[in-house]
Amino acid sequence: MSTPLSPSGHFPITGAWLESDDPGDRKFLSIASLTLESGDVLEDVTICYQSWGQLNADGDNAILVNHALTGWSDVPGWWPLMVGPGLPLDTDKFFILCPNVIGGCQGSTGPSSIAPDGRRYGSRFPSLTIRDMVAAEVAFSDALGIKKYRLAVGPSLGGMRSLEWAIQFPERIGAICTIGSSAVATGDQIGTASIQIRAIKSDPHFYGGDYYEHERGPIEGLGIARRIAHLTYRTEAEMDVRFGRELQGDETGRYAVESYLDHQARKLAERFDANTYIVLTEAMNSHDIGRDRGGVAAALAQIKTPVVVLSIDTDRLFPPRLQAEIADLAPGARPLVTITSPFGHDGFLVEVEAVGDVIRGALTLG
């Protein structure tokens, strides 16, 4: 039997690639079984997480960080200058927790995990919803004895989960901060995401999702998906000003922007699992806080928890109108905060000072 490989075909699923790309003091917590919205049951669920700071005697200084699609539990690794002494998520004051989402590939139970029968889940891993992810986070919090968070904060997919926390468990959240997120997945988002999923599944090395025992995984398909996604994360203006029609200046004959997107594709393929990309993307497509709650407006009307909504003016993946909807319809929402950035959706990663100021303000509400 061959060694199980990562999607790139170069690094083992368990081992060096995982440790080097998810640094820090990782911990693993069992939450036993989890019944999903679909009725499927995930057995022996493990949550990988990292923490910073100390829980105080009153247990009221915990912060839940909900990472985005390709994020992971090491917040400083994907969100620099956000966690640490004196930083917005101040480790001298707060106990910060970031669990790797279920369906993930950096330690939590996901498609590359070993199933109870001793084989990797692969194509057998069940579909997930945002509510399933929150259910896992609640079980995780219970296991750690966290009764209430001062703040739940997250960008994109993380903001979706923060909203679900506020609707389902308002007594366990002092406040939430959603960043570049929405109350419902739009047709445009679903359309773009569906093409990315199609690219992965069309790769001849996908093997129906059961590629872990093969010498090569769907690196090309995952790379195409990442290239498409990355263009939605940035802006047309940035791509034109930064690259324009410049050639790379090597023997490949590529445009400079092609080389840039190739680089982004390689980086993701060396640390991420293609099946996880599909599972989490499909979960985001399913996002609709109004489902079985009378619609989006009725669901948002339930939120009395303080809500801080951060929008990025150039975000074309989660355009500002989607954040305005949350701020307008949630009774607990403060006025919409919009930051100006040339970097589009990825502005939440780049504009750390402006985003940090918003988080500091949100922490005063919890």
Task: From residue 305, give the alpha-carbon distance in Å to each of 67, 113, 179, 180, 297.
Answer: 21, 36, 16, 19, 16
What pLDDT shows up at residue 251?
A: 83
CATH 1.10.1740.110 domain position(s) in the chain: 189-283
Is pLDDT of 183 > 70? yes
CB atoms within 10 A of CB 2: 8
What pLDDT shows up at residue 109?
A: 98
DSSP-H helix ranges across 169-235: 187-202, 219-233
Question: HSE (CB half, 13 Å, CA atoms) of 190?
Answer: 9
Mean pLDDT score of the chain, rounded to an integer? 93
Percentage above 70 pLDDT, the chain: 93
What pLDDT shows up at residue 15?
A: 28
Determine the Cα–Cα distance for residues 228 and 264; give it in Å rounded to an integer: 11
What pLDDT shows up at residue 18?
A: 36
CATH 3.40.50.1820 domain position(s) in the chain: 16-186+287-363
Is pLDDT of 20 > 50? no
Annotated catalytic sites, by residue?
A: 156, 315, 345
pLDDT tens, residue by residue, 91-123:
999 999 999 999 999 999 999 999 999 999 999
What pLDDT shows up at residue 12?
A: 36
Identify the CATH assignment for 189-283 out of 3.10.129.10, 1.10.3720.10, 1.10.1740.110, 3.30.1360.200: 1.10.1740.110
Q: Which helix (H) or strand (E) holds 262?
A: helix 256-269
Q: How confident is the model at residue 21 (pLDDT cuts 50, 70, 90)?
A: very low
Q: How confident is the model at residue 249 (pLDDT cuts 50, 70, 90)?
A: confident
The structure's pTM equals: 0.93
Give yes or no for a contact between 20 and 230, defined as CB atoms under 8 angstroms apart: no
Q: How confident is the model at residue 280 (pLDDT cuts 50, 70, 90)?
A: very high
Cβ-proximal residues to 239 (8 Å cutoff; 6+ apart), any chain: 231, 257
pLDDT tens, residue by residue, 305-341:
999 999 999 999 999 999 999 999 999 999 999 999 9
What are the structure tokens assigned to 160, written together? Answer: 């979706």
Q: Which helix (H) or strand (E) holds 163?
A: helix 157-168
Determine the Cα–Cα distance for residues 189 and 187; give it in Å rounded to an integer: 5
Phi, psi of 138 (to 5 degrees): -65, -45
Q: Among 126, 174, 159, 121, which residue's Cα sits nearest to residue 362?
A: 174
Q: How confident is the model at residue 17 (pLDDT cuts 50, 70, 90)?
A: very low
Q: Among 95, 98, 107, which residue's Cα sits nearest to residue 28?
A: 107
pLDDT tens, residue by residue, 254-277:
999 999 999 999 999 999 999 999
Give per-residue burial for 352-362: e unless 16+ CB within 10 Å, then b. bebbbebbebb
pLDDT tens, residue by residue, 55-98:
999 999 999 999 999 999 999 999 999 999 999 999 999 999 99
What pLDDT shows up at residue 24?
A: 58
What pLDDT shows up at residue 252?
A: 85
What pLDDT shows up at residue 4?
A: 34
- Which homologous superfamily is 16-186+287-363 in? Alpha/Beta hydrolase fold, catalytic domain (3.40.50.1820)
